[in-house]
Amino acid sequence: MTGPGWPPYPFDDSSGAADPAEWVRRQLLERRVVGLFGPVDDRCATECAAALMTLDATGDSAVELQIDSADGSVDAAMALMDVIDLLGVPVHAWCTGRAGGPAVGVLAVCGQRVASPHARIQLTEPQVHFDGDARSVHMQAEEHLRRWATFCRRLSDATGTALQRVCDDTARGRFLSAGEAVDYGILDSVAGPDSQIIRLPGRPVGFRPH
């Protein structure tokens, strides 16, 4: 994956083939940028939290968290939210495409929250599946409801929106435009035409609010 305008990647896997994803990740980390892309599952949250904590330990300037995640696990999202709360450096979130379900909580607890003009936010409870006998399934469902109630309270606190409204909106899967998300308290602003693009060698990757 090299060619005009593309420098060779400095990272090689065990087979000797270049790994563009790892190269981009390292380039972004050097610029104190972390990506949260895809469902917020345990692996994604762990990797994102590790990157954030590493940047916290290696510098004092703010970290940018780019978010494009439409789903995820409540527990994984809340664990990542805890890490963001405890970091010693500010975390500036940039929603580049979509934030849905538990990912909305991660976006909401960041210190500065910006989204691209066409970003979409969905307040919705994630789908969950339980296995086991009737008693086990009942207990798992009760625990999930308890954890989801805790998540909704945290989202209410982070946005300044009444808890009952948060619960009602997540129950019906409400979609918000970027502007509506500002009014809701999930975002601080929508990126304008003067926003800056983060440029890596060879091509632009991501955006940086002005």
User: Domain locations in the chain?
Assistant: 20-196
pLDDT digits (tens, 9 = 90+) for 191-203: 976 655 444 343 3
Q: Is the pLDDT of residue 9 over 60?
A: no
pLDDT digits (tens, 9 = 90+) for 27-42: 878 889 999 999 999 9
Q: Provide mean pLDDT across the span 175-188.
A: 97
Rounded CA separation 138/2 (Å): 54
Rounded CA separation 6/43 (Å): 30
pLDDT digits (tens, 9 = 90+) for 72-93: 999 999 999 999 999 999 999 9
Please state the φ and ψ torsions of residue 170, each to the nearest 5 degrees: -70, -30
Contact 85, 202 (CB under 8 A): no
Domain covering 20-196: architecture:
Alpha-Beta Complex (3.90)
Q: Is the pLDDT of residue 101 over 50?
A: yes
Q: Provide mean pLDDT across the span 59-78.
A: 94
Would you tell me the crossing angle of helices 74-86 and 134-159 to the nearest 10 degrees? 40
- The number of C-alpha atoms within 13 Å of 22 and in the hemisphere containing its C-beta is 9
Q: Provide mean pLDDT across the span 153-162.
A: 97
109/134: higher pLDDT? 109
Q: Is the pLDDT of residue 184 over 90?
A: yes
Q: Is the pLDDT of residue 21 over 90?
A: no
Q: Provide mean pLDDT across the span 3-7.
A: 38
Supply the mean pLDDT for the chain. 85
Q: Count of residues for the chain? A: 210
- 1-5, 13-17, 39-43, 150-154: which has the minimum mean pLDDT? 1-5
Provide the pLDDT for residue 193: 65
pLDDT band at residue 126 under the 50/70/90 scheme: confident
Q: Is the pLDDT of residue 65 over 50?
A: yes
Tell me the pTM: 0.80
Contact 45, 77 (CB under 8 A): yes
